[in-house]
Structure 1
């Protein structure tokens, strides 16, 4: 006898080698007809939440291990952040060899810094190559570990017109791959809601073309803020950039070699603090002093600051030259907005037409994952945990290391190996019969 899954894309056969916890449910299905109407889906492997680069990387590594899986994605495409919430001129800030996912390199004819379109094409071909077919338009509302049954229960909602569909996935492993940048951050600034001009977040910004001739205030001075200000300049806008705190600005390349690659190479031989000093000296020789332009450097070195607080240094691709020439004006923090004006903390007033919030993103894990031991309130794995990619009870995290795509790829490989080892061990063992515990089923 087979037990078929309501959605029709998975089936669990009676002779499968499965964990005892799943058998509890399978043995009970024939006597609980209502379970099917509730649309519960048994997943023979892990559920991966998120079809961005991190989720795809885990899927590819699991495919190599021979472990089945299901990928859930709330958008209608893979890598929705890249496809729908990035600006047109975006390119990878690091060389392609540090951004490729496991098991499949970038095409050789791609440039050293692939464009947004090239990276999306690569991800599409990656998913196709490893036969990763996410369940699109399924938003995870909650995920909770059932202590009684020792299984994860992942509830999703999908909407098609006026039709609302709820599905509950049952699995032994849960991989959180929603990443560091799941939700945009829009700060509360006095008077912003009454501002008469246009206000957009960086996730809504596509090109400076629509701002041509306008006075634009860019709030934020990270890599996105710098690049958006540069793009606005190139489209004949008049940008001012808010710099509230200190920031490290480094050249993207030093003597023709990637600054990031140079730092990685040096860290193999010398301590991080010394690498920071060398980078700052070389940056000063190439860029000169940035403080006289309103870009004060932090007291902590760029790599140490990245490790300690997750704050990425800015890799300059031309914005600093525009700041020197005055085409990009650097201004201090905002006090309030009023009408078509902005009052700055130094008493200065600026007339502006539009505001672009380059204020970053955050994790959305606390909104749906009902777990507090592994993940902190900020949606990141707790730093006190040795393995930041592995929690308890089959919980994993990928894309939260603050080390970009290379960090996600490294963790994806370890997660797949860890799950694969258990999976293969289960296949070696003889299937064990487990009596039905109705108290587990009654919770559904």
Structure 2
């Protein structure tokens, strides 16, 4: 049984950031990863994916994105950044090593894996929320003659050129996938369950998240009141004037 101070489960964004932080503090650690390489979740995302947070707000500790990278990095640029990050800090995960059981034994944790058993004082679970898709189920799916897939399985709109496609949802992934479908020659429509808040990625050239962080210091109702006229100016679209636009702003959502 191998022993360490801290065992990190997962070698993508959270796991690599945890490893570099522990290194800086001279704290012993091991990091395990069930896949054969780091940043696997990002390698599996759809091709067109870009961060919706600017690179300045998306850096991991002690290392920034390269200046040549666009304000909103692409999926591949995120993968490249994480690989460079791993090399820069000489982080060496135990690859193809999956945790199958984590149990407390006295003041230590016992972590069983397919490649042996480990004991540690602390465990960091850095597997992220996107490793497994949530099952989808709608009435009539079993008789629908077309193709149904989860966004987790989507890669590119090229496969749907000339076809009508319904995208269910209005989150970041849904909107970007719908746009990708349109760019690739498909005919996308979107199904939205309830009124929404449409928030632009930038407002007059400033990343919306930076403005959101400033407005977060105000009470939600006041923040929405300050925000509303700028949103109306920016979102000169039919949705902004329709009853599908949520009456409460994003701070009271």
Same fold (TM over 0.5): yes
Whether 1:118 aligns to 2:77 is yes
Quote how far apart the aligned CAs of 1:280 are. 2.8
Specify the alignment match of 2:108 in structure 1: 151
Task: Choose which of 129, 136, 141 in structure 2 pairs with 1:192.
Answer: 141
Quote how far apart the aligned CAs of 1:177 are. 1.1
Distance in 2 (alpha carbons) for counterparts of 1:244 and 1:171: 46
Equivalent runs, 1:28-427 vs 2, <5 Å? 40-42=1-3, 44-84=4-44, 86-146=45-105, 149-157=106-114, 166-268=115-217, 270-288=218-236, 290=239, 295-297=244-246, 299=248, 301-305=249-253
Quote how far apart the aligned CAs of 1:293 are. 5.6
Specify the alignment match of 1:355 in structure 2: none
Q: Which has the higher contact order (CA 8 A, sep 6+)?
A: 1
C-alpha offsets along residues 355-393 of structure 1, whole Å, 9 cap, x if unaligned? Answer: xxxxxxxxxxxxxxxxxxxxxxxxxxxxxxxxxxxxxxx
CA contact (8 A) 2:34 2:97 kept: yes
Number of aligned residue pairs: 252
Distance in 2 (alpha carbons) for counterparts of 1:240 and 1:143: 44
Unaligned runs of 5+ in 1: 1-39, 158-165, 306-444
Unaligned runs of 5+ in 2: none
CA contact (8 A) 2:5 2:121 kept: yes
Distance in 2 (alpha carbons) for counterparts of 1:122 and 1:80: 13
Q: Secondary structure at the match of 1:251?
A: coil
CA contact (8 A) 2:136 2:150 kept: no
Distance in 2 (alpha carbons) for counterparts of 1:81 and 1:193: 29
What's the Cα RMSD here? 1.8
Tell me the TM-score normalised to structure 2 length. Answer: 0.92
C-alpha offsets along residues 104-149 of structure 1, whole Å, 9 cap, x if unaligned? Answer: 1111222211111111111101011111111122222221212xx2
Quote how far apart the aligned CAs of 1:75 are. 1.8
Stretch deviating more after TM superposition (243-252 or 192-201): 192-201
Q: Which is greater in Rg?
A: 1
